[in-house]
Amino acid sequence: MRTEEDLRAFLQRIDGRGYPAYKDLSRQRFAFDGFELCIDHVQGDPFAAPSRVRVILPMDVADFDLDDVGPDARRVALADLLCRRFGAVASETAQRRGSGKSGAIEIARCGQEVLERTAVILDEGRVEARFTVGLPAQGRRVRGRAAAALLCDDIPRIVDAALLRDAWEEVTIRRHLDAVEDARALRAQLADAGLVAFVADGAILPRRSGIDDRPMADGAIPFRSPDSLATRFELPYAGQVRGMGVPRGVTLIVGGGYHGKSTLLQAVERGVYDHVAGDGRELVVADAAAVKVRAEDGRAVAGVDISPFINGLPGGMDTSTFSTPDASGSTSQAASIVEAIEAGASALLLDEDTSATNFLIRDRRMQELVHKGAEPITPLVDKVRQLHRDHGLSALLVMGGSGDYFDVADTVIGMEAFVPWDATARARAIATEHRTDRVAEGGETFGELRRRRPRADSLNPRRGKRDVNLRSRGTRSIEFGRDEIDLSAVEQLVDGGQTRAIAETLEFARSTLLDGARDVAAVLDAVDAAIAARGLDAVQSRPAGDLARFRRFELAAALNRLRSLRID
């Protein structure tokens, strides 16, 4: 293996040459004091995607005792913490050193959620950090001395400040790791307590803005559970915590506009993930298989059995294998619910504001005007209890305009000026006193759903001369071959690294798992097993540091929105 001195000498020799001179660094490894520097890919010019680099430290140099760190949750949390510190120090250290991306040092950016990533990997033998650098240039000529300062001086400083145990205060590590382990312990207790979610007293639910997911700094009202919905849990580090339990079954969140209904639901939908200490929602958790569903005009649907909700379409179209390139709001929401069941969801999260009105409810007056024989849609109000009884699927719904749901709700949570109250008894009294006399539609059972087997030949990653063309744009879309997968309505995608990982996983599934025998659930199971065994590297062909762990539900959502998808 070549040394740091070899690297510095090489960079000084090529100073002033054309930018391609950097290419000789590709796939080279250099021994530094305490770590290896691996240059996996060198950018083609200073304006191209930055060069991919790794540093690898023996664990006895990094000096993190993984036996002391403990269970997997804490390892994920520690890797997340190192990634955050690496990014912060790199941002302070890096300096512009010429044209294009010259001088940039960047690692995966972390939000409020703690996710397993490929950016920092911990195992028994090593700490590995994967990041990118912009190799310096003036115009399109090498700035060798600036590159030597970046690779041989800046990177060792970042390693010392972020990846060595001596650089950390014990309290910082413990606080971060304890918060994650407490959240995991809390989530694990939900099922035995008969709950789908829990919101701790003192939680800060509002965010600073729609583009700033940090907790609201001023004016936020700490959450406080009504006594009748309060429950307590014992956690490893926080001790006993009190908060509001959201029971299994059908739960409504009601209240006036701007009183906190959607804010509560949004906190719960993010509760499938662990959060950083100080987020305000670290002890707001949801069942890991809770899925947010909304209307999505224009999405593609491939071979989904939406007949429990939509049947008898004009022209006799079969809705037990429904396909369309341009779904309506109601058909898209029906398809998304069935797809969530197929993927193994335990609970549905819905907001009236982002749902199709005719999918949610058909009131008595409309039933009188448009008889059932002329209406193919069976509204959710008549199927939501069947979903719970027949498929074990709970539902948490924000409902501000339809009191008909009082007839089917087990629990009603009222929100008034961001303060929750137990409105169950009052809602039941109103339902008894003011009967709607609407006629339940949709039969007695939800029914069984057919298994769908995706066809491998319907996933084509080719584009032009590229055998595999995969790109992602934040959390909003994936370019898969020539197809654009719109994920803007998949609200539980929280990190661009998840989207990139899903893109890689679609190609991994196409090439290794879609054999004609596996149905969608079996494909998702196989992906989960591969990642559990090998981490996210299982789904990518090169050691990139920009992937983050996703849930099977968001992977299924991407597959289901692929417009070329065909089903056997």
* Closest residue by Cα to residue 551 from 509, 510, 493: 493
Report percent pLDDT > 90 for the chain. Answer: 88
Q: What is the per-residue pLDDT for 319?
A: 94
Tens-digit pLDDT profile for residues 7-40: 999 999 999 999 999 999 999 999 999 999 999 9
Here the tokens at position 447 are 């029914």
pLDDT at 316 over 80: no
Q: Strands 290-292 and 347-351: what pairing?
A: parallel
Q: Where are the domains of the chain?
A: 2-168, 190-450, 456-560
CA–CA separation, 218 and 298 (whole Å): 39
Find the helix or strand (DSSP H, E) in which 155 lies. Answer: helix 155-162
Place of tokens 């800060």: 204
Q: Are 5 and 12 in contact (CB under 8 A)?
A: no
Are the CB atoms for 536 and 547 separated by under 8 Å? yes
The pTM for the full model equals: 0.96
Which superfamily does CATH assign the domain made up of 190-450 to?
P-loop containing nucleotide triphosphate hydrolases (3.40.50.300)
Segment 405-423, tens digit of pLDDT: 999 999 999 999 999 999 9
- Taking residues 344-351, what's their average pLDDT? 98
pLDDT at 337 over 80: yes
Residue 163 has pLDDT above 80, yes or no: yes
Residue 97 forms beta bridges with which residues?
A: none
Span 176-195, average pLDDT: 97
The whole-number average pLDDT for the span 270-296 is 98
- Give 367-429 as a DSSP string: HHHS-GGG--BPPGGGTHHHHHHHH--EEEEE-SS-GGGGGT-SEEEEEETTEEEE-HHHHHH
Which pLDDT belongs to residue 206?
Answer: 96
Helix (H) or strand (E) holding 68: helix 66-69
List CB contacts of 331: < 8 A, sequence separation 6 or more: 301, 306, 310, 322, 324
pLDDT score for 98: 73
As a whole number of angstroms, the distance between CA 133 and CA 98 comes to 13
